[in-house]
Amino acid sequence: MKNTFGNSVSVTLFGESHGAQIGAVLDGLAPGIPVSEVYIAARLSRRRPSGAISTKRVEPDNFKIVSGVFNGFTTGTPLCILIPNENTKSGDYEATRALARPGHADYTAYCKYHGFEDYRGGGHFSGRLTAPLVAAGAVAMYALEQKGIRIGTHIARCAQIADRAFGDLERDLTFLQESQFAVLDPEAADKMRAAMKAAAEDGDSVGGVLETSVTGMPAGVGEPFFDSLESVLAHAMFSIPAVKGVEFGDGFALADGRGSQTNDSFAMQDDRIVTRTNHNGGINGGISNGMPILFRCAVKPTPSIYREQETVDFLQGRDRKILIKGRHDPAIVHRAVVVADCVTALVLCDMLTQRFGTDYLGPSRATSLEV
Amino acid sequence: MKNTFGNSVSVTLFGESHGAQIGAVLDGLAPGIPVSEVYIAARLSRRRPSGAISTKRVEPDNFKIVSGVFNGFTTGTPLCILIPNENTKSGDYEATRALARPGHADYTAYCKYHGFEDYRGGGHFSGRLTAPLVAAGAVAMYALEQKGIRIGTHIARCAQIADRAFGDLERDLTFLQESQFAVLDPEAADKMRAAMKAAAEDGDSVGGVLETSVTGMPAGVGEPFFDSLESVLAHAMFSIPAVKGVEFGDGFALADGRGSQTNDSFAMQDDRIVTRTNHNGGINGGISNGMPILFRCAVKPTPSIYREQETVDFLQGRDRKILIKGRHDPAIVHRAVVVADCVTALVLCDMLTQRFGTDYLGPSRATSLEV
Amino acid sequence: MKNTFGNSVSVTLFGESHGAQIGAVLDGLAPGIPVSEVYIAARLSRRRPSGAISTKRVEPDNFKIVSGVFNGFTTGTPLCILIPNENTKSGDYEATRALARPGHADYTAYCKYHGFEDYRGGGHFSGRLTAPLVAAGAVAMYALEQKGIRIGTHIARCAQIADRAFGDLERDLTFLQESQFAVLDPEAADKMRAAMKAAAEDGDSVGGVLETSVTGMPAGVGEPFFDSLESVLAHAMFSIPAVKGVEFGDGFALADGRGSQTNDSFAMQDDRIVTRTNHNGGINGGISNGMPILFRCAVKPTPSIYREQETVDFLQGRDRKILIKGRHDPAIVHRAVVVADCVTALVLCDMLTQRFGTDYLGPSRATSLEV
Amino acid sequence: MKNTFGNSVSVTLFGESHGAQIGAVLDGLAPGIPVSEVYIAARLSRRRPSGAISTKRVEPDNFKIVSGVFNGFTTGTPLCILIPNENTKSGDYEATRALARPGHADYTAYCKYHGFEDYRGGGHFSGRLTAPLVAAGAVAMYALEQKGIRIGTHIARCAQIADRAFGDLERDLTFLQESQFAVLDPEAADKMRAAMKAAAEDGDSVGGVLETSVTGMPAGVGEPFFDSLESVLAHAMFSIPAVKGVEFGDGFALADGRGSQTNDSFAMQDDRIVTRTNHNGGINGGISNGMPILFRCAVKPTPSIYREQETVDFLQGRDRKILIKGRHDPAIVHRAVVVADCVTALVLCDMLTQRFGTDYLGPSRATSLEV
């Protein structure tokens, strides 16, 4: 299966940047989970572009849940969320359809779909598709919160400017949930915004690194082969357009250390088993150990830049130059924060449901009988 | 599914470090692919420990193919490879079974399997399980070679010592195929070996970074969502024990650049469309673009070290100290090289078969009729 | 996965009988397949109730394709079809929500969804969900027709009245494609209609047997284990509400014969290998043999009848009587004909795409380059 | 995936009739389930041929569990069972390799595997492959018995001779578990045996109908789409060689009734909700309702008969005659009884684990902590 991900809880994605509607089907979530449209809207608004550091295409994201919710709760049957595309300017793309935009999927889409792909605005490859992913993921994230599992992502690095590391996680996650620009250190935030603006003024773009933390995750979730928690999370994160690297715990830095430095030793803490450090990001042998899950995703600079670039006309097979028009972001890393949160939530709902059964994320049975 | 991976071509893994036999079932490979036991043995021998920088447990890996091969060719039905465990010293592990070795899966295995897990030598979590993975992957790798698709991995970094970057890929891949210690720069190789030895003398261990390249990959393979080539490769690579990071092309370094630097511009070259640079590792929008696939995996230091470490007895729930005995590697990064190759081969066979059908990796029909 | 079916070509279903919209996502179909809304509408109209032998709830089925089609052809990315629910009378169901209608899923839905299920009109269990299944399947069926693969279903039996057997298949399939009441023998058709009417007048309902034939199917499609063509077709057919039996070729009658009668002997016919008889329904060892595929589905009588029935109130746990109101069919077997066709089409598109690759159902490459 | 079936609990099958070993990998079963080799051997012995009514190839089925069991309990990691092929006479098949045996998979195997298939004794298509399926299924069946879920199958019909219907289920299931010839009515059993012998004397073969019942199945298991309990059970049953029909409850007979006869009305019985009749075989809307599951499988006559048959040489493309040699059964329906039991057990373990989590089939947590 291609546009469907997950085993026990799955999400199916559809739509194109300039099509009539985009959407997602979320299936397998327990019955009885409250669905808050306000919460979903808040998540979508964090993905939405704003101001000088984002594309001028602003969509209201008037999502509509057309199935799977009844009287405010999930039914347990597929939940379909639709988002209309309202602010499309398709004319922008016609002239350059056979000019492969560097860093984009135009050429590979052509190799795969032989010219039948909807080439307007990136079609199905567009970052616009992350809107329904966020909407579906927001439902999952809300479900996890009812179970005390919290997810938060900050921009750990952007344009070579570093945010401070996660500290008091509960406080940081609370801060991030409210934040429109997910940077823990206000000074770093200002610098990042400035760097984004500077890139925009140069007709250029910047990338960044997202760092995600999950607290409250029960131990014992994940598989040794092949569905390690790292495997499944990475699989999902690499589906997010522009993600080119994923690392857990200290990740690539682990490779430079010695075992005596990178092993997380265990200790008893109030009758609970914990690790003294968390170099392994809460995962041993592919399975959660009860410590916070921690991972980072590398987001490449937005490939759409306002400079002339070398390329080819792939229909005529000759060298050409391209100057991209349209409305684009000088950076997407700040908009991808909530995508990382929501995709993480989808994966965790799936893994927890596999592990503990289809009722696990729902209300206790006692409650449900009274409904 | 847990220990089975792949859609059109799948591998199922079974066994424990100290069980009777370990093995893999490779299913869905085209009929008519020559199977070379010599080739498989050569790949297995590259995984096998040797000398001072590896564990003293040396297994002959007398693998046996018990199904799926007939008259030297794949039949198209499941191919099962068995490897007996011959050199096991199970007594080593009994005394410490409830002491969670830091960095290992003992505690998480207990959380998941409630004490029923085979705890001897890491059981099903053992790196030993990569032997059948290599054996199955070697069959896949040989199939790809018949189609002109070559895979090679070198140790790009180990103990903070860097190998040179890939250069002339065809030459480098040829060199790596023969090499027992997969480092391109002989001087770096010596330094890495020395660093491994030094770590061993300290009762410590080192990690490293593997870099894998694939040439000859056709364009148009992979999916926008959710089975991007990055997603599926990362999923598989993160199944390899000790891998904690995966990045494609320039990976995390992309996050620090600007779009004008990181975009790979297209050009015509002898009627073929190529990119002038390969910052994206041969993948745009989740789909191969015909350039070499390039990715790196971070391998953490071997968690087994010969020093006293803090830990807990998870059955009694109290703090303890542990001094690991048994036979272990001061580094596994050099042994993981061929694992990375073979796992890559499994993923590519799967993706190519999905894309082009179940006969694609087999002989041309004309040939097969004469058999 | 639950509401998603298929490997290489998959369909995801969502919606409830009285929800805002129902729909399906069809994913993995080759790019470049012409999509005819007229053809889809014609298939949907065959599913729609009409006259005295069907429910009085008539929906116009104003489907809308919101993604996956561009300039009249499939793009190769997910195709979402939406159908609004326009003619819902939800009030009918409120009073009896805890009274399990015999033969319906009310009680089992409660066991699974704990009272959170949308109980109006059967919710997600409603036969109404077959509308998007037909719409998606119609796209698949049209794709198969371009490849010379034709599917047709007739009512082989209804209310103990038998239709004649399939004869000249090409002619029969052509006849069935146009027919609103899919019975080959006009006399039998009249009797069946009369029996349906008689049952309706008694406040009762009847069932029937559907027989489906597929011509033009290439040999060599299907698997020995576990995805035999019978397995996958049966899996899909048993998803259709009210189907309680599936048999291939002579099916259960085979069990009463001897091998000398039931074996289909092979013969050469104009350089093609055929079988002289087709007791095995075109499938040997789970794999198509090039002869017409033939199978039958048993459809139970519509469980909604207008007579007082014994039941329980499952919330209060006591015996009750129920008299069903609402608008229902005295038979669904005639409406299920096109559902059987379309579900068959979905399965075959999936199996063919797995076998021959993702471009197989699309246009020849030469054609596509000119688009 | 092809030779792997199941989501949460899966089985992977490998081997050929005349290969070195055949086997199965059972994955996902809860840790802590007792594994009884005696129980497995007993199930295998019921599948083994015996006397005049079975093939003269008798295999001892010296199975060996090489992974996944530790100290007599499942570990929760993959359990691999191997069975050596000891009594193979491969010479029998060489001369006729291109002569398609009617009713067998020789020709379709050739269409799919292009001549690379192992043609000796049916290769991977052989009924011999049901031995590891039974061995793996026996582990699953034993696990279900610990939970009070019992499965039994009898030969409901053979050579047009009918067994009596199921009566007192618990007694009948107990009787069947011990029985070597699974017929409830001893007189019918004698007649069936006689009919099998008569067919053997004629060089012919007979088929039959298996009827399976499951008691103790909790309500609420299964899906409306597409993984209805009927769908998944039928998928699995149609993988068993020679099965050509599957029906649930009254099955095809339902099609001839009226709703007022076929609806199962509900009633309270000692605070439990039951149905007064069980025409629907314990399944409503694809989900178990707590009543016994009931279904029947049509098994066609063994295609190997000792009579001259018309066929083709598929390599030379011309008409030929064939007289099958080798060692074969005049009937397999009695040997398929335990296969039906065991495949049912595999499906139910999978569905229950999906529904209630990976610990469900294991011991209670309290018990497991003491291990």
Interface test with B, best of D70, D81, D365 (most B CBs within 10 A): D70
Nearest to D267 among C208, C264, C312 (CB): C312
Mean pLDDT of A105-122: 95
B81 phi, psi to nearest 5 deg: -110, 130
pLDDT band at D235 (very low <50, low <70, confident <90, very high): very high
Is some CB atom of chain D closer than 8 A to the CB atom of A354? yes
Q: What is the mean pLDDT of chain C?
A: 93
User: For residue C21, which residues of chain A lie inside 8 Å, CB to CB?
Assistant: 66-67, 80, 82
Nearest to C73 among A21, A116, A124 (CB): A116
Superfamily of domain A4-361: Chorismate synthase AroC (3.60.150.10)
Interface test with D, best of A1, A4, A8, A226 (most D CBs within 10 A): A8
pLDDT band at C368 (very low <50, low <70, confident <90, very high): very low
Question: A35-44, B21-30, B353-362, C84-93: which range is least confident on average?
Answer: C84-93
Assess whether pLDDT exceeds 80 at residue A56.
no
pLDDT of residue D366: 46
Of all residues in chain A, what percent carry a pLDDT higher than 70? Answer: 93
Question: Minimal Cα–Cα distance from A116 to chain B, Å?
Answer: 14
User: For residue A231, which residues of chain B lie inside 8 Å, CB to CB?
Assistant: 234-236, 238-239
Whether B117 sits inside 8 A of D31 (CB atoms) is yes
pLDDT tens-place string over residues B183-203: 999 999 999 999 999 999 999
Whether C368 sits inside 8 A of A115 (CB atoms) is yes
Q: Is the peptide bond before D63 cis (omega within 30 degrees of 0)?
A: no
Tokens of B232: 């599926």
pLDDT tens-place string over residues C249-264: 999 999 999 999 999 9
Assess whether pLDDT exceeds 50 at residue C370.
no
Nearest to C354 among B8, B77, B224 (CB): B8
Nearest chain C residue to A113 by CA: give it: C31
Nearest to B4 among D12, D19, D73 (CB): D12
pLDDT of residue A346: 98
pLDDT tens-place string over residues C338-361: 999 999 999 999 999 999 999 999
Reference B124, options C255, A182, D66; nearest CA is: D66
Mean pLDDT of D161-171: 97
Nearest to B356 among C7, C77, C357 (CB): C357
Is some CB atom of chain B closer than 8 A to the CB atom of D60? no
pLDDT band at A370 (very low <50, low <70, confident <90, very high): very low
Whole-prediction pTM: 0.96
pLDDT of residue B305: 95
Assess whether pLDDT exceeds 50 at residue B368.
no
DSSP assignment letter at D168: S
Reference C136, options C296, C350, C288, C295; nearest CA is: C350
pLDDT tens-place string over residues B242-294: 999 999 999 999 999 999 999 999 999 999 999 999 999 999 999 999 999 99
Is some CB atom of chain B closer than 8 A to the CB atom of A225? yes
pLDDT band at D50 (very low <50, low <70, confident <90, very high): low
User: For residue D200, which residues of chain C lie inside 8 Å, CB to CB?
Assistant: none
Q: What is the mean pLDDT of chain D?
A: 93
pLDDT band at B34 (very low <50, low <70, confident <90, very high): very high
User: For residue C358, which residues of chain B lie inside 8 Å, CB to CB?
Assistant: 354-356
User: For residue A204, which residues of chain B lie inside 8 Å, CB to CB?
Assistant: 258-260
pLDDT band at A53 (very low <50, low <70, confident <90, very high): low
User: For residue D331, which residues of chain C lie inside 8 Å, CB to CB?
Assistant: none
Is some CB atom of chain C closer than 8 A to the CB atom of A90? no
Mark which residues 198-217 of C lie under 8 Å from D by CB: 199, 202, 204-209
pLDDT band at C60 (very low <50, low <70, confident <90, very high): low
Is some CB atom of chain D closer than 8 A to the CB atom of C197? no
pLDDT of residue B324: 86
pLDDT of residue D368: 42
What does the H/E/C string look like for chain A?
CCCEECCCCEEEEECCCCCCEEEEEEECCCCCCECCHHHHHHHHHHHCCCHHHCCCCCCCCCCEEEECEECCEECCCCEEEEEECCCCCCHHHHCCCCECCCCCCHHHHHHHHCCCCCCHHHHHHCHHHHHHHHHHHHHHHHHHHHCCCEEEEEEEEECCEECCCCCCHHHHHHHHHHCCCCCCCHHHHHHHHHHHHHHHHCCCCECEEEEEEEECCCCCCECCCCCCHHHHHHHHHCCCCCEEEEEECCHHHHHHCEHHHHCCCEEEECCEEEECCCCCCCEECCEECCCCEEEEEEECCCCCCCCCEEEEECCCCEEEEECCCCCCCCCCHHHHHHHHHHHHHHHHHHHHHHHHCCCCCCCCHHHHHHC
Interface test with B, best of D26, D82, D88, D114 (most B CBs within 10 A): D114
pLDDT tens-place string over residues A188-197: 999 999 999 9
Whether D25 sits inside 8 A of B15 (CB atoms) is no
Mark which residues 153-172 of C lie under 8 Å from D by CB: 157-160
Whether D28 sits inside 8 A of B123 (CB atoms) is no
Nearest to D358 among A355, A358, A359 (CB): A355
Question: Minimal Cα–Cα distance from B329 to chain A, Å?
Answer: 11
User: For residue A2, which residues of chain C lie inside 8 Å, CB to CB?
Assistant: 10, 27-28, 78
pLDDT of residue B43: 95
Assess whether pLDDT exceeds 80 at residue D49.
no
pLDDT of residue C46: 92
Assess whether pLDDT exceeds 70 at residue B370.
no
Mean pLDDT of C229-236: 98
pLDDT of residue B316: 94
Question: A268-277, B348-357, B359-368, C187-196: which range is least confident on average?
Answer: B359-368
User: For residue D235, which residues of chain C lie inside 8 Å, CB to CB?
Assistant: 226, 231-232, 234-235
Reference A231, options B239, C351, B122, D222; nearest CA is: B239
The CA-based angle A152-A155-A156, given to 5 degrees, is 105
Nearest chain D residue to B32 by CA: give it: D116
Assess whether pLDDT exceeds 90 at residue D327.
no
Non-local (6+) Cβ contacts of A171 within 8 A are: none
Is some CB atom of chain D closer than 8 A to the CB atom of C254? yes
Mean pLDDT of A115-140: 95
DSSP-derived pairing of the beta strands B243-248 and A243-248:
antiparallel
pLDDT tens-place string over residues A295-334: 999 999 999 999 999 999 999 999 999 998 766 789 999 9
Is some CB atom of chain A closer than 8 A to the CB atom of B288? yes
Nearest chain C residue to A314 by CA: give it: C369
pLDDT band at B1 (very low <50, low <70, confident <90, very high): confident
Q: Where are the domains of chain B?
A: 4-361
What's the Rg (C-alpha) of chain B? 21
Mean pLDDT of C169-173: 97
Assess whether pLDDT exceeds 50 at residue D223.
yes
pLDDT of residue A337: 97
pLDDT of residue B367: 44
Is some CB atom of chain A closer than 8 A to the CB atom of B102? yes
